[in-house]
Structure 1
Amino acid sequence: MSVIDVGDARLYYERYGHGPAVLFISGVTGDAGLWTRTAQALADEFTVVAYDRRGNSRSPRPEQWTSTSVDEQADDAAGLLRGLGIAPAVVVGASGGGAILTNLVLRHPEVVRAAVIHEPPFVSESSDPDEVGKQLGRLFEQGMATGDPKRALEGLLLWAWGEEGIAAAEPDLRRRLLANAEVFLTMELGAFIEYLPSPQELAGVTVPCIVAAGAGNRDPAAPYHHGYEESQWLATHMRTDLIELPGAHAPYLTHPTELTDALRPLLRALSPNTGRDSSPRPPSSS
């Protein structure tokens, strides 16, 4: 078991392979295991790290830790990169991990070589934020009515990941994810939803950034279409391309092979010379 002390937190992490450094940041449930199949597949060419965010899964809850913020989460990621000696790295963040990564490039640009940000939860910038809020509220209320936070988290994951995503999580991973329900619902959810950088901040980002959305969320009828819209908003204000990745909101679970195939050329292009030909800029799919 690999752990590292970062500030007041002890973080569990997994490290694979050799080559240019890549860090994966998870969103809801904060578990490194969401990226295992993708990380292992990329280990032939890259040093890949994923970690359990503070208070989640195998990263213990710090003493007297009762609240969090996206700033704190980004500080953890920066400390991890420095502590492992792999900064600057290409960093990939999805969902809440995308919000953390956005904060990271704004506040700790020196540790990020380049960023790939997938569907961060900037709900207020979707076309109907009130409806998204109502859906989230209904899921929370339905789950909490049972007296079991795990039921509330399971309902949210079903909405965000779909049945395919839930089914793709192996039993041990699923147990860990649901065990993080209290931390997510009482400490993280509000912090992620409230975080929104200004257009002026985003326009000033100096780190090369790619913003991604799930191809399966492009259709306005898709249950998580708002995630696609939020990525469109971010790409516009970062003045970068929007690209599509396979699947919907959780391609690391539903389409790990296709995700690996899509990420590999991006990581090559964004990393130091890997000894292979690479295009300096991915094509736009917006």
Structure 2
Amino acid sequence: MQVTSDTIKVPGARLYYEAVGRGPLLVIIPGGPQDAGVFADLAQRLADRYRVVAYDPRGNSRSTFDGAAQPQNMDIHGDDAAALIEAAGDGPAYVFGTSGGAQIGLNLAARYPHLVKRLIAHEPPTVMLLDDPVPVLATNDELQATYRRDGVEAAMGLFFAQNGLSEDMDGPPPDMTPEAMETFARVSGNFEYWLVDGVVSLSSYEPDLAALRADPARIVVALGVGSVDQPIHAMGTALASRLGVQPVAFPGDHMGFETEPDAFAAAMVRSLAD
């Protein structure tokens, strides 16, 4: 289906978004340094059921600050997501957030419950909900120290290794489409901003559990079957336990929405069913 793009003005920034499909509004929030482009395949597989709107969080790729880059703030990220839903005019919305984007989704659901019909929180880095967050916080400190000492490439290599992920830091795979190569280049360009501030802000955020427990049926905690035994799986499990809900198994690992888009889209449709 045809993809359209536009921007909306929010305080201090302008947000870029892409929309495709028809039906109930489904807002997709990327994680960490990612942008809307990483969901291109997934969005097409959902477009026959939903109007899918994916955006670049402020500071990433095409969502630019009015002036100098600002530190990441979870309430501001939540405000941005709310503004996007209100601008779309089709709320309340279904929301899917992955990784740091799941943290933004949890902030949105807690502070703007009237705008969220259901949230799929895919592998949120809810470090502070672990019984003992100290070891994970130590890996964040190691990541920051590696960035300051050895630079972006070394730090990102360490991050992927810490989380059981693989990534070719020498460039995109040779079989990538031109569109995917553009996305790869944009996301790579966001790594430094994410390392400087995002990784700590997004992972140290503690969701408002009391607000979320007011209607826990709205929250789907999605955990990849390929992430079992990884730190991110333990974090999502801790969130589900605190909310009193059962986590839902999703295809793939932390990047399942890219590597297994057909199965991932089917899992989303099941989880969003009323």
d(CA) in 1 for partners of 2:196, 2:166: 24
- The alignment partner of 1:145 has SS state of helix
Provide the aligned length of Structure 1 versus Structure 2: 263
The residue type equivalent to 1:175 in the other structure is: A
TM-score (norm 1): 0.83
- How many angstroms apart in 2 are the aligned matches of 1:84 and 1:165? 36
Q: 1:2: how far off?
A: 1.3
The answer to whether structure 1 residue 79 and structure 2 residue 83 are counterparts is: yes
Alpha-carbon distance in 2 for matches of 1:45, 1:124? 36
Alignment-derived partner of residue 68 in structure 1: 72
Determine the structure 2 residue equivalent to 1:277.
none
Does 1:102 pair with 2:106?
yes
1:187-202 equivalences under 5 Å are: 187-202=197-212
Indicate how the Cα distance of structure 1 residues 74 and 154 shifts in structure 2: closer, same or farther if over 3 A, else same.
farther
Deviation of residue 43 (structure 1)?
0.5
1:38 is aligned to 42
Alignment match, 2:264: 259
**Secondary structure of 1:163's aligned partner:** coil
- The reply to whether residue 240 of structure 1 matches residue 250 of structure 2 is no
**What TM-score, normalized by structure 2, do the two folds share?**
0.86
Which amino acid is the alignment partner of residue 156 of structure 1? F
Alignment correspondent of 2:152: 149
Instruction: Give the one of 142, 158, 172 matched to 2:182.
Output: 172
The answer to whether the Cα contact below 8 Å between 1:115 and 1:207 also exists between their aligned partners in 2 is no
Cα distance, 1:164 vs structure 2: 6.4
Q: Distance in 1 between matches of 2:96 and 2:168?
A: 19
What do you get for the CA RMSD once the two structures are aligned? 2.3
Distance (whole Å) between structure 2 residues aligned to residue 171 and residue 6 of structure 1: 29
CA distances 1:133-172 after superposition (whole Å, capped 9, x unpaired): 33333344334323x3354235424544722698678322
Code of the aligned partner of 1:153: M
- Kept in 2: contact 1:143–1:149 (CA 8 A): yes
CA distance in 2, matches of 1:163, 1:213: 18
Cross-structure match for 2:117: 113
Partner of 2:235: 230
| Gapped regions of structure 2 (runs ≥ 5) | none
Q: Percentage identity across aligned positions?
A: 32
- Higher deviation after alignment, 116-125 or 39-48: 116-125
Aligned residue for 1:247, secondary structure, equals coil
Q: Which amino acid aligns with 1:249?
A: H
